[in-house]
């Protein structure tokens, strides 16, 4: 079952990258106003697959607990919580879906006046751009590109990944991450980063289903 789900996730990644290039070449306006628009298929797709990633991590945690690895299971539950929170943040916790108003705090401190934390402003400090931008992007690329290269060599990197039950990507995930990064860098259109987030959410689904260290992380 995991293998079939992984194949489906990989197929969706390829389809998304191809569609992104096609839409960009056909119409940049359509890309911005329809394809990757706020509350569009790309944004909601990201939230859905982040939520799926969270569910898979909980599934993995259950397996670890069944093996008597309670500490590792607790860590994986924490990872699952992070992805659940990311899914909620992506759609402002359903604010625009259900139509409820932001509280006074978010109206005063959120760049988009929405109920989420990644768009908070503290003076001139924009949380999304400063923390969720360059810092998080660097961490994600290290995880997707560097870790799958270092893990097979063993050593302290592999030991730490296994100790913390961190699902390790395969080289196919590193390759896709690099291809997606090049595509996003080349295309010049608003809201292209929404597609980047969708690719990441699909990659994590694939990685968490069948990581390199499946015997240690699930």
Mean residue pLDDT of the chain comes to: 87
What is the spatial distance between Cα 55 and Cα 79, in angstroms, rounded to a whole number? 10
What is the spatial distance between Cα 169 and Cα 178, in angstroms, rounded to a whole number? 13
Phi-psi region of 122 (alpha: psi -120 to 50; beta: other; left: phi over 0): beta
What is the spatial distance between Cα 163 and Cα 200, in angstroms, rounded to a whole number? 24
What is the spatial distance between Cα 214 and Cα 158, in angstroms, rounded to a whole number? 13
Q: Which helix (H) or strand (E) holds 18?
A: helix 2-26
Instruction: Please tell me the pTM assigned to this model.
Output: 0.88
Tokens matching residue 76:
């994986």
pLDDT of residue 95: 66
DSSP state at residue 170? P
pLDDT of residue 128: 60
pLDDT of residue 185: 92
pLDDT of residue 190: 87
Q: Which residue has the higher pLDDT, 12 or 112?
A: 12
| pLDDT single digits (tens) 137-165 | 788 889 999 999 999 998 999 999 999 99
CA distances from 13 to 23, 41, 205 (A): 15, 14, 11
Identify the residue whose tokens are 């706020």.
38
Q: What is the mean pLDDT of residues 183-208?
A: 94
SS3 125: strand
pLDDT of residue 188: 92
What residue ranges in 69-186 does DSSP mark as E strands? 121-122, 125-126
pLDDT of residue 91: 80
| pLDDT single digits (tens) 81-119 | 999 988 987 786 666 766 666 666 656 665 665 665 556
SS3 120: strand
């Amino acid at each position: 079952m995991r293998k079939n789900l992984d194949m489906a996730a990989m197929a969706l990644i390829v389809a998304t990258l191809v569609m992104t290039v096609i839409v960009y070449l056909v119409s940049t306006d359509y890309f911005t106003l329809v394809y990757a628009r706020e509350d569009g298929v790309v944004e909601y797709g990201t939230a859905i697959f982040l939520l799926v990633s969270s569910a898979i991590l909980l599934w993995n945690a259950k397996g670890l607990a069944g093996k008597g690895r309670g500490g590792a299971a607790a860590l994986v539950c924490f990872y699952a919580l992070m992805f659940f929170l990311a899914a909620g943040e992506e759609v402002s916790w359903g604010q625009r879906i259900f139509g409820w108003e932001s509280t006074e705090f978010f109206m005063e401190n959120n760049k988009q006046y929405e109920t989420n934390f990644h768009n908070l402003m503290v003076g001139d400090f924009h949380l999304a751009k400063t923390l969720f931008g360059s810092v998080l992007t660097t961490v994600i690329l290290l995880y997707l590109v560097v870790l799958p290269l270092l893990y097979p060599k063993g050593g302290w990197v592999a030991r730490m990944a296994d100790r913390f039950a961190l699902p390790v990507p395969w080289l196919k995930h590193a390759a896709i991450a690099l291809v997606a990064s090049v595509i996003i860098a080349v295309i010049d259109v608003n809201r292209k980063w929404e597609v980047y987030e969708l690719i990441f959410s699909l990659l994590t689904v694939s990685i968490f289903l069948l990581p390199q260290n499946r015997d240690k992380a699930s």
